[in-house]
Amino acid sequence: MKTELKIAWRYLFAKKQYNAIHIISGISAAAIGVVTAAMICVLSVMNGFGVMVEQLFSQFDPDIRIEAVSGKSFHDEGEQFDALRQLPAVALVSQTIEETALLQFEDRQMPVRLCGVDSIFPTLTHIQDIITDGEYEVHDGAFDRAVLGRGLAWQIGVGAHFIHPLQLYAPKRTARVNMLRPDQAFNEEICFIAGTFAVQQAQYDDEMMLVDIPLTRRLLEYGEKEVTALLIQLSPNASARQAERDIQSLLGKDYNVLNRYEQQADFFRILRVEKLLTTLLLVFILLIASFNIIGSLSMLIIDKQSDIQTLSHLGANQQTIRRVFLFEGWMISTLGAICGLVVGLIICLLQEHFGLLKLGNGAEYVVSAYPVAVQATDLLIVTIVVLSLGFIAAWIPARRIKDSIH
């Protein structure tokens, strides 16, 4: 094995007069390196977008969210919920009620995702950090206030300093609709806008409206302890995975215990699918680049016919000669992979620290430059894929060595 490797090393790196075969070998290594660097950069940028959006969600989503498996609501009372609040991993528990309601301002109406929150909510989330206008306040001691998503406020035509009230309507839970007076089938509440927030996600900014939870209970006719979800903040040193298992075990199968990723399962599922499809596309490009190795090795085998005959006369068998050219092809792909990994990492580091590649003029996006997050698993996967395809590309011409031995 050592002899074959030395011969292959000499063919590739020894001082020699460069000809077309050696130039093609260099081009093959360069092509592998370019595609490898591209894979590292593209996957790292996709990771960067994932991390960025995860941080945006973390400003609003709690560490853990508890929902009922069946039905819209449940009652936050009983021994199991008392025990939940006593768990060492649980720092804060906040009640919330979410339901669709009709928002009216002057002559404009639109459905909204009404979210009633308690006094613990601003401590449990980072809502104060994403207020874009006005302030966070859902009750000022005399009047009910509301904090709207920035997109929702723009659509309904209100701002943080408007003094006209907002009207909220929701159908009564038990009343029958009177066709002569259909307005009597709805509950009505009013509140005044206090501010706007922006999570930079349409499902929040264009739909959500935060109000005080007593107002929501009155509007939707919910009981004092009735909620649609419990929001939990974990203790600083708590293990999120262990806490999730403990809470699920405590509450049983009637409740869903959702971590941050499960709360946004659809988004992260789409992100994983996009990353997988992008990886497959880049692997296909790498496969095309690997054909250069097949061409350069085939030409090298033809060029080294005399060497093959000499090795055969010296006692080298077919497998030994085949391994020489197999190592030759694998070294071409390895050289390209190493250069590509180094170049890709350098580009990612430069992008991360200096933001060389911008996103438009910066004002239209959450970040001014493409975000980057290099993950060790991506480096490992890319390396394995490149070396595997390189081995296959080298094996195809090497297996035909027997036709050259007379």
Contact of 173 with 221, CB cutoff 8 Å? yes
One DSSP character per residue, 242-288 reads HHHHHHHHHH-TTEEEE-HHHHTHHHHHHHHHHHHHHHHHHHHHHHH
Per the rule left: phi > 0, alpha: psi between -120 and 50, beta: everything else, 98 is beta
**According to the model, what pLDDT value does residue 294 have?**
81
> How do the domains of the chain map onto residue ranges?
2-57+267-404, 64-260
**According to the model, what pLDDT value does residue 151 have?**
94
**According to the model, what pLDDT value does residue 295 have?**
79
**According to the model, what pLDDT value does residue 99 have?**
95
**According to the model, what pLDDT value does residue 216 have?**
96
**According to the model, what pLDDT value does residue 329 have?**
81
- For 188, the enclosing helix (H) or strand (E) is strand 186-197
CB count, 10 Å around CB of 192?
Answer: 16
**According to the model, what pLDDT value does residue 179 have?**
62
**According to the model, what pLDDT value does residue 392 have?**
87
Which residues, 6 or more positions from 220, have their beta carbon under 8 angstroms from its beta carbon? 97, 99, 101, 170, 173, 187
One DSSP character per residue, 60-106 reads TS-SEEEEESSSS-EE--SHHHHHHHH-TTEEEEEEEEEEEEEEEET
**According to the model, what pLDDT value does residue 363 have?**
53
CA distance 18 to 203: 61
pLDDT tens, the chain, 406 aa long = 566 667 666 666 655 555 666 777 788 889 899 999 999 999 999 999 888 888 878 888 999 999 999 989 999 999 999 999 999 999 999 999 999 999 999 889 999 999 999 999 999 998 999 999 999 999 998 899 999 999 999 999 999 889 899 999 998 877 676 666 666 778 999 999 999 999 988 889 999 999 999 999 999 999 989 999 999 999 998 899 999 999 999 999 999 999 988 998 888 899 889 989 999 999 999 988 888 888 777 777 776 677 667 767 666 777 777 777 788 788 888 889 999 999 999 999 999 988 888 876 655 566 788 899 999 999 999 999 998 988 888 888 877 766 444 5
**Residue recorded with tokens 């996600």:** 201
Residue 76, token pair as written in the block: 């936050």
Contact of 378 with 40, CB cutoff 8 Å? yes
**According to the model, what pLDDT value does residue 136 have?**
96
Q: pLDDT tens for residues 104-161?
A: 998 899 999 999 999 999 999 989 999 999 999 999 988 999 999 999 999 999 998 8
274 CA to centre of own chain: 10
**According to the model, what pLDDT value does residue 180 have?**
60
CB count, 10 Å around CB of 195?
Answer: 22
**According to the model, what pLDDT value does residue 138 have?**
95
Residue 238, token pair as written in the block: 């708590």
CA distance 16 to 3: 20
Q: What SS3 class is residue 195?
A: strand
